[in-house]
């Protein structure tokens, strides 16, 4: 029986669904190994294991801090582990035990965040680049959610492809009952949910809406997700284009509301310039929303022929492609059917089993 730690400090962040599902299915399929689940204090209070071989441990060390590099390293060493799985790239870089690391993408190495201090962000980005270069070298194996990310890391870190294993993620149907948003009922709208960072390309989507409004004057664009300072620039763009009344910033939505938004929208739009897997688009497919997607990075790999694609750098191509789905009901229905079938190709349980297989290989190395 091996003693394995899983770094779950990101459990309840926007990118934490991966480790959430990994823990859920590992508890179902592995009854022999001992697992120590490392959680931030708030998550330690709320997360409970379902398998007696899984034990939770409080881990108060914030990512990208000296405390992480010193205190977290010391904590890991004291646990006398056979393996640590870092579910994100951030970790104590001088930890010398056996490590498997999941690297979701290299987006942060390439895009700026205008909501942050420019000089401070640049300095942090240099550290981030180093971590993304060094970690795959010291890890026994690296897990990625797509072939695109695998090739990207091989090129960036100059490591052998055989060290990187693709474990595709998946999307589940939201179990909560549908909860309609009354202010949007009976109104035609496009939908996007997620964080508003610049690489999500929402400014160009708002510009595409302004073009679409010429033929669809009642059309709305619904942007869901927690608001931050970046949204101020999008509100400004909408005002400048005269579509401020047609862009709905919902802020946080419940799972039931998100389910309704998927079901009620005319199309789910994913204009991103960089993704590692593109989970929201797959969630749209599961919930019967026709997907109109960017051709950037991994997205055609994940969505296959079940999405209607546009060039994310060409606002006219974006608007034209969205319009084709709006006016062609046969195309919409075809995308809905194809999306449901495409989503079935992915499985969280299969991802967990592949991850467990890699644990065993890493431990035996």
* Average pLDDT in the chain: 95
Q: Which has the minimum average pLDDT: 225-234, 239-248, 345-354?
A: 225-234
Closest CA to 296 of 105, 66, 89, 45: 105
Residue 328 belongs to some domain of the structure: yes
- How many structural domains compose the chain? 2
pLDDT digits (tens, 9 = 90+) for 37-63: 999 999 999 999 999 999 999 999 998
> Does one domain contain both 153 and 195?
no
Domain around 74: 3-170+347-364
> Does one domain contain both 155 and 12?
yes
> Does one domain contain both 336 and 276?
yes
> Does one domain contain both 92 and 128?
yes
Residue 207 belongs to some domain of the structure: yes
> Does one domain contain both 231 and 149?
no
> Does one domain contain both 165 and 67?
yes
> Does one domain contain both 28 and 166?
yes
CATH number at residue 144: 3.40.50.2000
Residue 176 belongs to some domain of the structure: no
Residue 11 burial (CB < 10 Å; 0-12/13-18/19+)?
buried
> Does one domain contain both 307 and 265?
yes
Residue 175 belongs to some domain of the structure: no
Asked if 286 and 169 count as a contact pair (C-beta separation under 8 A), the reply is no
> Does one domain contain both 316 and 331?
yes
Residue 46 belongs to some domain of the structure: yes
> Does one domain contain both 53 and 150?
yes
> Does one domain contain both 257 and 192?
yes
> Does one domain contain both 128 and 221?
no
Residue 232 belongs to some domain of the structure: yes
SS3 184: helix
118 has a pLDDT exceeding 80? no
Q: What span, in angstroms and rounded, lies between the C-alpha atoms of 29 and 73?
A: 29
Looking up tokens 């619904």 gives 222
Q: Which pLDDT band holds residue 230 (cuts at 50, 70, 90)?
A: confident
pLDDT digits (tens, 9 = 90+) for 53-103: 999 999 999 988 899 999 999 999 999 999 999 999 999 999 999 999 999
Query: Which strands form 267-270's sheet, in the order they lie side by side?
Result: 247-251, 220-224, 189-193, 267-270, 291-294, 308-310
């Amino acid at each position: 029986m091996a003693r394995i730690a899983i770094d779950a400090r990101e459990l309840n962040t926007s990118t934490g669904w991966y480790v959430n599902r990994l823990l859920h299915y590992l508890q179902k399929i592995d009854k022999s190994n001992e697992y120590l689940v490392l959680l931030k204090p708030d998550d330690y209070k709320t997360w409970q294991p379902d398998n007696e071989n899984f034990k939770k441990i409080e881990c108060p060390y914030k990512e990208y801090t000296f405390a992480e590099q010193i205190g977290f390293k010391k904590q890991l060493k004291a646990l006398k582990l056979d393996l640590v799985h870092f579910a994100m790239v951030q970790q104590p870089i001088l930890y010398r035990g056996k490590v498997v690391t999941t690297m979701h993408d290299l987006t942060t190495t390439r895009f700026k965040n205008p909501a942050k201090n420019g000089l401070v962000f640049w300095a942090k980005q240099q550290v981030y680049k180093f971590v993304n270069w060094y970690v795959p070298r010291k890890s026994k194996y690296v897990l990625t959610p797509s072939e695109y990310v695998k090739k990207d890391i091989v090129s960036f870190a100059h490591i052998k492809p055989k060290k990187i294993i693709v474990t595709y993620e998946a999307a589940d149907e939201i179990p909560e009952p549908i909860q309609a948003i009354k202010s949007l009922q009976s109104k035609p709208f496009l939908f996007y949910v997620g964080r508003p960072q610049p690489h999500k390309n929402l400014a160009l989507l708002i510009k595409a809406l302004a073009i679409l409004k010429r033929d669809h004057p009642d059309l709305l664009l619904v942007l869901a997700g927690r608001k931050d300072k970046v949204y101020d620039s999008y509100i400004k763009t909408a005002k400048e284009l005269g579509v401020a009344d047609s862009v709905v910033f919902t802020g946080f939505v419940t799972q039931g509301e998100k389910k309704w938004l998927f079901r009620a929208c005319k199309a789910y739009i994913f204009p991103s310039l960089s993704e590692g897997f593109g989970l929201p688009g797959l969630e749209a497919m599961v919930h019967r929303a026709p997907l109109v997607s960017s051709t950037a990075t991994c997205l055609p790999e994940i969505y296959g022929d079940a999405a209607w694609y546009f060039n994310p750098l060409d606002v006219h191509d974006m608007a034209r492609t969205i319009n084709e789905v709006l006016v062609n009901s046969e195309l919409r229905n075809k995308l809905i059917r194809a999306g449901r079938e495409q989503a079935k190709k992915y499985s969280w349980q299969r991802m967990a089993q592949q991850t467990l297989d890699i644990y065993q290989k890493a431990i035996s190395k």
